[in-house]
A and B are shown apart, each in its own frame.
Chain A
């Protein structure tokens, strides 16, 4: 069965630094990876989608990269702020559905 893994349960980053989160998936093609943000007590909110033929996608301070050789996506938040503190979920698109990783809790320390 397909798997998607986020290797850090939690990550502490100093305000102003770049936060980098990692997502790995098992062999699936075509691979589309999605990234969501979830705040406590709320539903996930979509951030970015990257396709396997795209190396990089950007949205404001967010950047996602995709390495099909490593089967890995990296999610970067530049110039991080305390308001960026949340759980970030990676998800693998699979035809009719997506499967989610367990998420990484990101804490931006002031």
Chain B
């Protein structure tokens, strides 16, 4: 069991470039989440999904899009990167909703110059 994996681990983008972060889980979890973590701000929810084909906005969704075409994958897209999106991004999954523990991936460190 790999648990939750994230690709890539590190990325540097120029302002205006686009990219997609991939999250995969092999635990057959229904719910998946994307967070960003910034110093002094804690973990903030960007978007989440309660099942294959569904997505919902979190606390800080602007500038990001997501897709959940397959149950095991959750993609986070940045269409036009901005320096304010420099952060560490974590993906997580849980069996069901907020009452269940979340399993986190190792994170992606993104720098936008």
Residues of chain A whose beta carbon lies under 8 Å from any beta carbon of chain B: 32, 34, 41-46, 49, 89, 93-103
Contacts and interface: CB of A to CB of B under 8 A. Distances in A.
Contacts of A94: 98
Interface residues of B, number: 27
Nearest to A32: B99
Interface of B: 4, 31, 33, 35, 40-45, 48, 50, 56, 58-59, 90, 92, 97-99, 101-107
Contacts of B41: 102
Given A43-B90, A44-B104, A46-B103, A102 B42 contact: yes
Contact of B106 (A42, A46, A97, A102): A42
A93 B99 contact: yes
- The dominant DSSP class at the A interface is strand
A49 B99 CA distance: 8
A100 B50 CA distance: 19
A100 B43 contact: yes
Contact of B56 (A42, A44, A96): A96
